[in-house]
């Protein structure tokens, strides 16, 4: 996620800059960056849905020992995401306050928005990639030597074509669709975005009415990508982005599906609702100039029974759930539904 709204067309339609640093970290090192434990640091912000994906996948696959993680604060200035949560505001591994410094190390005077997630080569102090969609796929396919015992198959070969197809529609219509609503520059653009978003949410409700997960009978990459938007829907997108035909809690199938995932290790325990609200309501001053952060909604209902077990499915397939989050990586209880 960039710290600025990307741009809009003459008709007011929001457009996202998708030209990322697309260098890949691979098992064979074909781009010059081989998978090596301890070499890289994943820089994230819990507030960001794109970064939240990488936190989830890293945890589900058990990559904690191989790939360290650095957490930016939920808010930032016009220059960069910053490490406000660390002592003296400096990342203890990279030794920087501004994530932009790692971007400039890779591309001097980096001309684009500084985004998370970003994977940084620790020794060089430079960003290797911020291509969020590819990062999680590579965690599943290129980092296999460092997966935990019992790691699930989030991108199984037999389902990849369908995962890709579903994920693409989820991205264009829902992940990015809420932003098209929130950053629309005209009434017509907003109404177009609104209609597209809820058409897609209705499609998902139909798809998930009789199957527990988006593709196959286990959790896959597609579910991770959808979850991070659903987790932010009532807290942010419904009001802040005017995506207000219905709350998630008023869409029975999607609400049950989201609670099912939230209550699955790796999902709810990586979701920080306080930081999520702080980011959107404080940073987006063009939408919320007062920077007032709402107190609601009540989070306790995320832990209510969802009944999705009746649809069958095996959350982790032949694998097992991850263990508890590491102490240094836990979401504070007051920031979640716990």
> Active-site residues: which are they?
48, 179
Query: Is 143 assigned to a binding site?
Result: no
**Residue 41 near residue 119, CB atoms below 8 Å:** yes
Rounded to 5 degrees, what are φ and ψ at 95? 70, 30
* Backbone Cα Rg of the chain: 19
Which is it for strands 40-44 and 68-71: parallel, antiparallel or unpaired? parallel
* Cα–Cα distance list, 58 to 61, 67, 81, 128 (Å): 5, 8, 21, 17
Which two three-digit tokens encode residue 197? 């978003």
Which two three-digit tokens encode residue 176? 């990015």
DSSP 70-138: EE--S---SS--B-TTSGGG--TTT--SBTHHHHHHHSTT--S---SSEEEETTTTEEEE--HHHHHHH
Contacts of 171 (CB under 8 A, 6+ apart): 133, 225
Which is it for strands 7-8 and 14-15: parallel, antiparallel or unpaired? antiparallel
Which residues are documented as binding site for glutathione?
81
């Amino acid at each position: 996620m960039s710290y600025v709204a990307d741009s809009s067309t003459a008709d007011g339609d929001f457009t996202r800059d998708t030209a990322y640093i697309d260098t890949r970290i691979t098992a064979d090192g074909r781009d010059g960056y081989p998978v090596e434990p301890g070499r890289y640091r994943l820089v994230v912000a819990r507030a960001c849905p794109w970064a939240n994906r990488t936190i989830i996948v890293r945890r589900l696959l058990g990559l904690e020992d191989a790939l360290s993680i650095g957490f930016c604060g939920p808010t930032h200035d016009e220059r960069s995401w910053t490490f406000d949560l660390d002592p003296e505001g400096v990342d203890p591994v990279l030794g920087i306050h501004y994530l932009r410094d790692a971007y400039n190390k890779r591309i001097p005077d980096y001309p684009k928005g500084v985004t998370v997630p970003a994977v940084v080569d620790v020794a060089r102090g430079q960003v290797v990639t911020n291509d969020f969609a590819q990062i999680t796929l590579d965690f599943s396919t290129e980092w296999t030597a460092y997966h935990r015992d019992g790691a699930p198959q989030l991108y199984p070969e037999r389902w990849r074509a369908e995962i890709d197809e579903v994920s693409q529609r989820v991205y264009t219509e829902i992940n990015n669709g809420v932003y098209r609503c929130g950053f629309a520059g005209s009434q017509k653009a907003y109404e177009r975005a609104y209609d597209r978003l809820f058409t897609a949410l209705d499609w998902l409700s139909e798809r998930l009415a009789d199957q527990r997960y988006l593709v196959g009978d286990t959790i896959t990459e597609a579910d991770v990508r959808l979850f991070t938007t659903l987790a932010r829907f009532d807290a942010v997108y419904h009001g802040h982005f005017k995506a207000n035909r219905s709350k998630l809690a008023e869409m029975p199938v999607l609400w049950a599906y989201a609670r099912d995932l939230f209550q699955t290790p790796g999902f709810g325990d990586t979701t920080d609702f306080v930081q999520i609200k702080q980011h959107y309501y404080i940073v987006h001053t063009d939408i919320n100039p007062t920077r007032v952060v709402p107190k609601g909604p009540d989070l306790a209902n995320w832990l209510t029974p969802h009944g999705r077990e009746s649809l069958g499915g095996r959350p982790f397939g032949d694998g097992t759930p991850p263990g508890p989050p590491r102490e240094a990586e836990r979401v504070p209880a007051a920031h979640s539904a716990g």
